């Protein structure tokens, strides 16, 4: 019974994460077309507002996933669980490199507080339109979608099919 509850909480955490992170996904696609600085700032602030829920649910995914694995110690001898863990780490790193870093650069360009490698920095003066457009052009929401959705889809398959 405890194992089933923990697995349910793990899956519910994934759903919460996808819901919270969906805000940033939608914003990333909207930013590709947006050039009005006030609207870019509003979109970036909307995305930032979803970060606490995203981070807490990501933590819950890890905690409940590990708890489920420790409640069923037999899982540790199978390759699918190790590949799932490694793939989650790879997805997080790639999303940080291609998502957080790029959107931090956009935040900096439009005069909003920003982060570099998790370290916060205060707002700087707004950059030129050319610099803002260049920063916006570096965003690749399709790549982020492939990394994030593709990674989670593979992990979901590994967890359900348990192929090895």
* Closest residue by Cα to residue 66 from 10, 132, 121, 142: 10
- Three-state secondary-structure class, residue 83: helix
Position 72 scores a pLDDT of 93
Q: Is the pTM above the cut of 0.75?
A: yes
Position 23 scores a pLDDT of 95
| C-alpha span between 25 and 30 (Å, rounded) | 9
Q: What is the pLDDT along the chain (164 residues), one digit of tens a residue?
A: 999 999 999 999 999 999 999 999 999 999 999 999 999 999 999 999 999 999 999 999 999 999 999 999 998 999 999 999 999 999 999 999 999 999 999 999 999 999 988 899 999 999 999 999 999 999 999 999 999 999 999 999 999 999 99
Position 98 scores a pLDDT of 93
The distance from CA 71 to its chain's CA centroid, rounded to whole angstroms, is: 27
Position 117 scores a pLDDT of 85
- Three-state secondary-structure class, residue 116: strand
């Amino acid at each position: 019974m405890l194992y089933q509850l923990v697995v349910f909480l793990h899956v519910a955490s994934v759903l919460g994460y996808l819901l919270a992170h969906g805000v940033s996904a939608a914003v990333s696609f909207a930013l590709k077309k947006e050039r009005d600085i006030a609207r870019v700032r509003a979109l970036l602030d909307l995305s930032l507002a979803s970060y606490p829920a995203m981070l807490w649910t990501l933590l819950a995914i890890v905690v409940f996933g590990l708890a489920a694995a420790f409640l069923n110690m037999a899982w540790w001898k199978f390759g699918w669980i190790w590949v799932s863990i490694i793939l989650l780490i790879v997805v997080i790193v790639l999303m940080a490199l291609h998502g957080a870093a790029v959107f931090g650069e956009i935040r900096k360009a439009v005069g909003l507080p920003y982060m570099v490698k998790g370290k916060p920095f205060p707002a700087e003066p707004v950059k030129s339109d050319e610099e803002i457009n260049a920063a916006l052009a570096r965003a690749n929401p399709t790549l982020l979608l492939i990394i994030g959705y593709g990674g989670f889809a593979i992990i979901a398959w590994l967890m359900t099919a348990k192929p090895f």
